[in-house]
Each structure stands twice: as structure tokens, then as C-alpha cells.
């Protein structure tokens, strides 16, 4: 099938590349000319394991092309995926300016039948608006359908998640749209759930908010564990063995970040408010998330007493491992607050230093390795659980530090082992 993707970011590019990988012919367009140039040269403008390989492979095979206008996308694809950003507005709601602009472009270019699919995370009822905008701006009588097919991929495992999703949700209002999307996804071995458009839109926000809620729940339990002298890892393990709860997303730490959860929880709360429902639970989720970060910064202050003038090593800056994305990264927030308190922060991240430098600027010294960051440090903070930190030679780390203290924001290290090596060690929700 011929498919067009409008927007080649963290959502659009894996979607396009994986549809090509499954045999479809895909055209990706983007308003950012530099991005298109990079993609044409076989370079993915952000770090996502495995993505560059499948982009190159499918481009070579002639199934994946980049460039052109939104009108070209409409001319080429029987299915057109809208994958443009929906950034947060000041009041927490989602800014749908890009969605609206793309819808108008699609309308003007519409000739034969097209299926327009929302793939970006959007508030419930966006599909209605997209349809209304296209109807308004298209020539009278143009034939099209709108559908919602939310993505559930995680950064860092976007390729695997897109090729082998837990489920494929198709929000449709016509049989024709359903049949086209079923055909499109036939080469994917995943359960398909067909719903109306509004339910599909809600599934995405409801899922992300629920996952964020799980994280905040366990972070609240971690705070309790710290007071009571219990171990949050044991508590989470015991909870997770109940199949109704499940073991995933119960890792306590410094809170959730990234371009999705913070924005989506806020947007969902705002959507509920607009619809006349008070979803106070989601405000609590956000409050607990903020508190997880505050508590960690307080721990650093307790450990150092005076932060000003101290040297602090920061291990990890991305919002989670296997990505160079620092949007809403709690690691960056922690570093920025400590730098603001007068600490000399020496930071290292395997991939995200370039992105982090744009946010943190000269307030932080960027180092070439975790060991280098630890040199002369009064304490080291584990902020993102990159696998390579598990291979750190902690004996050498201890020797280069001014004082061997590790504050672990992700419960990454084994407390006994680290203490045996002579470190003062504190983590989250563990004695």
C-alpha cells in the first residue's frame, strides 16, 4: 500500500520505517528541510537503537522515501498519517496548531479518496475537528475518512515496539477505513482492537496517564518505605506478583520525565476539566512526581550539608536510557537545581550530552566518561540507568572521588556491594 507520513519525529519516523519494513511503500515529509536532508543521507537526527539500520535498508530497497510537501504526501498515500507535535500550552492543554495546519493542507490537496489517520497523541474529539476542517477547506464532495491509530511505542525501543506492538488500536467510523487499516496492518502479528474514533483517542491518554499513575504510586510507596525502614523493591516485587497488578512500571526513582508522560497527564487533566469532569487523581500523580524529584535534591543537600562550592558527579542526563532525548528529563532538572545552588556539576551521559548542553549551557562541565565525571567529586548521582554504568569499575571511581558517596536516583546499584567497596550509599525507598 502507498502510505504517507507527515512529520518525521520520534513517532512518524519509526512508524514510516516499520511500515516500509513490512513491505509498504512509504513517503515521509517534514517541514524541517535539515531533517529531510539528513534522512536522505541515511542519518536519523536523533538516537534510537536500530532505527537507522531499518531506515537505510528500506531506503535502499526503494520502499522508503523522504521529502516533498504535504500536498505531495496527499498525492502519494492512500493512507496519510499525521505525526506532527502536539506540544503543551501554558494551561496544560495540548496545542493543536500543527494538526490544524496539516489538516488544511490535506484538504486543499485532496482529489481522490484518502484515509487520514491521527497518530500523534491528541485530545479526545480531535478527530471530529480534523474532519470538520477538511470538510470546510476541501472542494465540495471530496471523499475521505478520518481515523485514529495511536502509537504506543517507547523511545529507546521504538523499532521493536512498532514492529511487535502489544495491540493495534483502530478508531474508525466507516467500514472502508477499517478494512484499509486492517490490510495495512495485516503483516503485523498483533491483536487488533477496533473502536470508534473518540474511544481510540481516549485509550492513548488513558494508558499513558495510568502508567504515570503507577510510577507515582510506587514513588509514594518509596517515600513511605523510607520513613518506615522498608524496602520498596521488595514491596514492588510482592505487588507485581499479583497478575492483576503486574510487575512493570513499578520502579521507584526520581520521577517520570520525557516528552510524553508529563505532557499527557497534564493534557488529560485539562481535557477532563473541559468536559466538566474533575480528574483530581491526575493532579495528585503530578504532585507526587514533582515530590520525587524534590526529595532526591533534598537528599543531596542532607548529604553535603552545604551544596555551594561542592563538586558533584552526575551520571546520566537523558530522561531514560537508550535515548538522547532530554525533554522534561528529571536528571537535567536535578542537575540544573544543584548548579543553581552553587554546585560544580561534572556530568556524563553516553548519548545525551549534546542535547543536554543546549539546556544546561555552561553551568555544567561535560565529561567524556563516568569515571572522569567522578574526579574530585564530593558525591556522585546516578540519574539515568544506562546499562554501561553497571560496568563501572567502582574501585577506581572511589579512588578518584574526593569523598566516596553515591546517591542512586534509580535504585540501580546493589547497596551491599557498593557499601562493601567503602561508599556511603543512599537510594530511593531502600534502607
Residues annotated as catalytic are: 260
Q: Which of 153, 202, 285, 326 binds ligand UGA (CB under 6 A)?
A: 153
Give how far the C-alpha of residue 299 lies from the chain's centroid of Cα atoms, to the nearest Å. 27
Instruction: Output 80 or 260, the one with its CB closest to ligand UGA.
Output: 260
User: Pattern 309-338, binding to ligand UGA, x per CB under 6 A?
Assistant: ----------xx------------------
Q: Which residue(s) pair with 88 in the sheet?
A: 94
Three-point CA angle 207, 281, 237, nearest 5°? 65
SS3 category, 80: strand
Question: Cβ neighbours of residue 294 under 8 Å, at least 6 residues apart?
Answer: none
Residues 358-417 touching ligand UGA, rule: CB under 6 A, are none
Q: Are 346 and 365 within 8 A, CB to CB?
A: yes
Q: Which of 21, 105, 118, 151 binds ligand UGA (CB under 6 A)?
A: 151
If one asks whether residue 251 binds ligand UGA (CB under 6 A), the answer comes out as yes
Min. distance of Cβ 419 from ligand UGA in angstroms?
24
If one asks whether residue 250 binds ligand UGA (CB under 6 A), the answer comes out as yes
Min. distance of Cβ 407 from ligand UGA in angstroms?
16
Min. distance of Cβ 296 from ligand UGA in angstroms?
12
Residues 189-248 touching ligand UGA, rule: CB under 6 A, are 208, 211, 215
Instruction: Output 151 or 178, the one with its CB closest to ligand UGA.
Output: 151
Pairwise CA distance, residues 214 & 275, whole Å: 24
If one asks whether residue 46 binds ligand UGA (CB under 6 A), the answer comes out as no
If one asks whether residue 126 binds ligand UGA (CB under 6 A), the answer comes out as no
Inter-residue long-range contacts of 221-225, CB under 8 Å, 24+ positions, other chains counted: 221/252, 221/429, 222/252, 222/292, 222/428, 222/429, 223/291, 223/292, 223/295, 223/429, 224/429, 225/429, 225/430
Q: For residue 405, which phi and psi values (nearest 5 degrees)?
A: -125, 130
Residues 95-124 touching ligand UGA, rule: CB under 6 A, are 121
Q: Applying CB under 6 A, which residues contact ligand UGA? A: 121, 151-155, 208, 211, 215, 249-251, 253, 256-258, 260-261, 319-320
Amino acid at each position: 500500500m502507498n502510505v504517507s507520513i507527515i512529520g518525521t519525529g520520534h513517532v512518524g519516523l519509526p512508524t514510516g520505517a516499520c511500515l516500509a519494513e513490512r513491505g509498504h511503500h512509504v513517503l515521509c515529509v517534514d517541514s524541517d528541510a535539515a531533517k529531510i536532508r539528513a534522512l536522505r543521507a541515511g542519518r536519523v537526527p536523533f538516537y534510537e537503537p536500530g532505527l537507522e539500520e531499518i531506515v537505510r535498508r528500506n531506503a535502499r530497497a526503494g520502499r522508503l522515501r523522504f521529502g516533498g510537501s504535504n500536498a505531495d504526501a496527499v498525492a502519494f498515500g492512500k493512507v496519510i498519517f499525521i505525526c506532527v507535535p502536539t506540544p503543551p500550552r501554558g494551561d496544560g492543554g495540548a496545542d493543536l496548531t500543527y494538526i490544524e495546519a496539516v489538516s488544511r493542507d490535506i484538504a486543499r490537496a485532496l482529489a481522490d479518496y484518502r484515509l487520514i489517520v491521527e497518530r500523534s497523541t491528541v485530545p479526545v474529539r480531535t478527530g471530529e475537528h480534523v474532519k470538520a476542517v477538511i470538510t470546510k477547506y476541501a472542494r465540495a464532495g471530496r471523499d475521505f475518512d478520518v481515523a485514529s491509530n495511536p502509537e504506543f511505542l517507547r523511545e529507546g525501543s521504538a523499532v521493536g515496539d512498532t514492529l511487535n506492538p502489544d495491540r493495534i488500536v483502530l478508531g474508525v467510523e466507516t467500514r472502508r477505513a477499517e478494512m484499509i487499516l486492517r490490510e495495512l496492518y495485516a503483516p503485523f502479528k498483533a491483536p487488533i482492537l477496533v473502536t470508534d474514533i473518540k474511544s481510540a483517542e481516549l485509550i492513548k491518554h488513558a494508558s499513558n496517564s495510568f502508567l504515570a499513575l503507577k510510577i507515582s504510586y510506587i514513588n509514594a510507596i518509596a517515600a513511605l518505605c523510607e520513613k518506615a525502614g522498608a524496602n520498596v523493591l521488595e514491596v514492588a516485587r510482592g505487588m507485581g506478583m499479583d497478575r492483576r497488578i503486574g510487575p512493570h512500571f513499578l520502579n521507584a526513582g526520581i520521577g517520570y520525565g520525557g516528552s510524553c508522560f508529563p505532557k499527557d497527564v497534564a493534557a488529560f487533566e485539562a481535557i477532563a476539566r473541559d468536559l466538566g469532569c474533575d480528574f483530581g487523581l491526575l493532579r495528585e500523580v503530578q504532585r507526587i512526581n514533582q515530590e520525587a524529584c524534590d526529595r532526591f535534591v533534598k537528599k543531596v543537600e542532607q548529604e553535603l550539608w552545604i551544596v555551594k562550592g561542592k563538586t558533584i558527579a552526575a551520571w546520566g542526563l537523558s530522561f531514560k536510557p537508550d535515548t538522547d532525548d532530554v525533554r522534561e528529563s528529571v536528571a537535567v532538572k536535578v542537575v540544573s537545581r544543584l548548579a543553581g545552588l552553587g554546585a560544580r556539576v561534572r556530568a556524563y551521559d553516553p548519548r545525551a550530552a549534546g542535547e543536554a548542553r543546549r539546556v544546561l549551557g555552561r553551568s555544567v562541565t561535560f565529561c567524556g566518561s563516568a569515571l572522569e565525571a567522578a574526579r574530585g567529586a564530593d558525591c556522585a548521582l546516578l540519574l539515568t540507568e544506562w546499562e554501561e554504568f553497571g560496568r563501572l569499575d567502582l574501585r577506581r571511581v572511589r579512588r578518584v572521588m574526593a569523598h566516596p558517596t553515591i546517591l542512586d536516583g534509580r535504585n540501580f546499584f546493589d547497596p551491599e556491594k557498593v557499601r562493601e567497596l567503602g561508599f556511603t550509599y543512599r537510594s530511593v525507598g531502600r534502607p
